[in-house]
């Protein structure tokens, strides 16, 4: 499986962000012949207030974002793991991953479980629960013969979710994010490698980069592909860009046979 990660610097302009995402996906697929392409968290809109985020939301299926992504996946013949988007359902909103298959059909929908309500070391407060409600379902999907698990950003700090994804047969786990600069520089790579090692899966961590909210907030970027032994095999440079890697799924079986942790749990 060939995977490509799209690292963006999304702002509070949905039309511009969506156009950038489409352009970057088209470009990387043409260059890399990708099977699976991943966008970051809140790729279509990254604002600063609950009102802004709610106004950007769409009801699925339908809506500009949904239809554009479906067509994008179909036109390129890829599986498109569309980071996350604000989903509107009645009076509630969710931070939701959509996945589309090569025929343009919806393969999966995952609502972020763990919400980022944090006061960071540099004094900036984040209250994601002011904008969205939490999801409750552990979600995997099939990309060809490969089982892919879904998570989003702050989920990375809760290993029980990733064990559940592995127990549901995940060969690959995808984590789109808008990881903060303050926590990212110390925790992003350490946590991503830990999740890959303990689940013995390929781990695709795809981040936003640079500043948003009129420069008041910043994301770490450093999108990366990590193999089941915990080695980083691809990483984006600083700034907007892409990175790609070929996943050797036979290697996953080798790692799991050599260190069969899934057979040794006692709790």
Tokens of 165: 């994804």
Q: Which residues pair with 117 in a beta bridge?
A: 127
Tokens of 262: 């899934």
Q: CB–CB of 203/192 below 8 Å? A: yes
How big is the chain, counted in residues?
A: 267
From residue 230, give the alpha-carbon distance in Å to each of 136, 154, 187, 200: 28, 20, 15, 8
The residues, any chain, with a CB within 8 Å of residue 248's CB and separated by 6 or more, are none
For Cα atoms 125, 180, 17, give the angle at the middle one, nearest 5 degrees: 105
Residues 5 and 7: their CA atoms lie apart, in Å, by 6
Catalytic positions, please? 41, 112, 153
Question: In this structure, what DSSP letter does residue 133 have?
Answer: B
Tokens of 119: 């006061």
């Amino acid at each position: 499986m060939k995977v490509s990660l799209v690292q963006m610097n999304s702002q509070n302009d949905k039309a511009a962000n969506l156009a950038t995402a489409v352009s970057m996906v088209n470009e990387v697929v043409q260059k890399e012949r990708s099977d699976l392409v991943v966008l970051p968290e809140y790729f279509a809109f990254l604002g600063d207030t609950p009102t802004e985020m709610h106004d950007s939301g769409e009801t699925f299926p339908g809506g500009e974002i949904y239809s554009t992504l479906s067509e994008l996946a179909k036109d390129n013949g890829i599986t498109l793991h569309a980071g996350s988007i604000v989903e509107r359902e009645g009076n509630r909103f969710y931070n939701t991953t959509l996945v589309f298959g090569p025929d343009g059909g919806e393969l999966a929908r995952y609502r972020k479980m763990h919400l980022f309500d944090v006061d960071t070391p540099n004094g900036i407060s984040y209250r994601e629960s002011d904008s969205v409600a939490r999801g409750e379902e552990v979600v995997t999907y099939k990309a060809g013969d490969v089982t892919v698990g879904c998570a989003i950003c702050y989920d990375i700090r809760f290993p029980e979710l990733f064990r559940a994804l592995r127990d549901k047969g995940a060969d690959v786990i995808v984590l789109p994010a808008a990881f903060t600069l303050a926590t990212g520089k110390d925790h992003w790579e350490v946590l991503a490698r830990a999740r890959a090692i303990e689940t013995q899966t390929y781990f695709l961590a795809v981040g936003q980069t640079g500043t948003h909210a009129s420069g008041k907030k910043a994301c770490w970027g450093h999108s990366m592909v990590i193999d089941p032994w915990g080695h980083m095999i691809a990483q984006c440079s600083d700034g907007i860009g892409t990175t790609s890697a070929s996943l050797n799924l036979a290697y996953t079986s080798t790692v799991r046979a050599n260190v069969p942790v899934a057979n040794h749990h006692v709790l």
